[in-house]
Amino acid sequence: MTYETILYEEADGVATVTLNRPDKLNAVTGQMLDELKDAVARAGASPDVRCLLLTGAGRGFCAGQDLSDRAVASERPDLSQTLGQGYNPLIKAITELPMPVVCAVNGIAAGAGANIALACDIVLAKRSAKFMQAFAKIGLIPDSGGTWHLPRMLGLPRALGLAMLAEPISAEQAVTWGLIWQAVDDDMLMIEANAFAKKLATQPTRGLAEIKRAMRASFANTLDEQLALEAGIQGELGRGHDYGEGISAFMEKREAKFTGE
Ligand code: T3D
């Protein structure tokens, strides 16, 4: 697929996907959703990629759904369909991608834009960036996983406050509340995010993918179920290359060379 609303680049084991409608704060169109889903699948299928880095061009990360596509009442689609066919598969693709997904939030992340970021595994943001559950301002609920991620990350009081007030919070506040990993000085965002992504791309990818799967599965599991899941995964990983390499590297007091297997 040729991309017109995003950029896609592979280098050093990292696929970098950049939302690229800067004049509209990278607001999401149907075309952008199709391109994003294709890009995530492409990264997942590439033998050279062991980490995905998502960011935005210009002063915003993503302002959510492009509302100009919803301006004409008679042309408004059934939103359950736009979610079911567009946003939901994208959120699933990110959360189930068997490699770490780093998100570099370079500016405002609003509506579905915020929740696409929150679906990623490690989120860094410019100190000047803001996160906004904008949905209530247009009579909607947080979608794209917002009502799933927010209460789990924040607890109900803050999740409800963010969703109902629909006011932006700063990147620092997002860190303090446990919504994201780190806020960094604006001019350091891409330096830090690239360093994170490149480092993660040299780590035991299969193990990292299983960390992500097990952590997410835990929300629906009892302790017994989770212990059994951990034992099963560990059994598999214990037969893999990277476990053996990690042990050898430790014994030989050298850096491990993980293949991702
Ligand atoms: O519809 C479905 O399929 C259901 C799914 C819904 C998912 C959702 O995401 S719903 C939530 C949609 N998003 C919003 O409600 C946020 C709307 N945007 C804003 O509230 C503000 O733009 C921001 C708080 C994000 C940023 O404000 P500010 O003052 O920094 O920038 P601005 O001047 O408002 O925006 C700059 C430009 O981007 C401007 O264009 P212009 O006038 O210079 O040509 C603005 O219209 C455009 N823009 C910003 N957000 C959107 C947008 N254009 C279309 N859609 C947007 N969401």
pTM of the model: 0.98
Return the residue matching tokens 């042990």: 247
Cα–Cα distance for residue pair 116/104, rounded to 1 Å: 11
Cα–Cα distance for residue pair 117/149, rounded to 1 Å: 11
Residues lower than pLDDT 70 in the chain: none
**Ligand 1: which atom is nearest the Cα of residue 68?**
54
How far, in Å, from the CA of 164 to the mean position of ligand 1? 18
pLDDT of residue 261: 86
Ligand 1 contact via 32 beta carbon (within 6 Å): no
pLDDT of residue 14: 98
Contact of 67 with 27, CB cutoff 8 Å: yes
Ligand 1 contact via 114 beta carbon (within 6 Å): no
**Ligand 1: which atom is nearest the Cα of residue 25?**
38
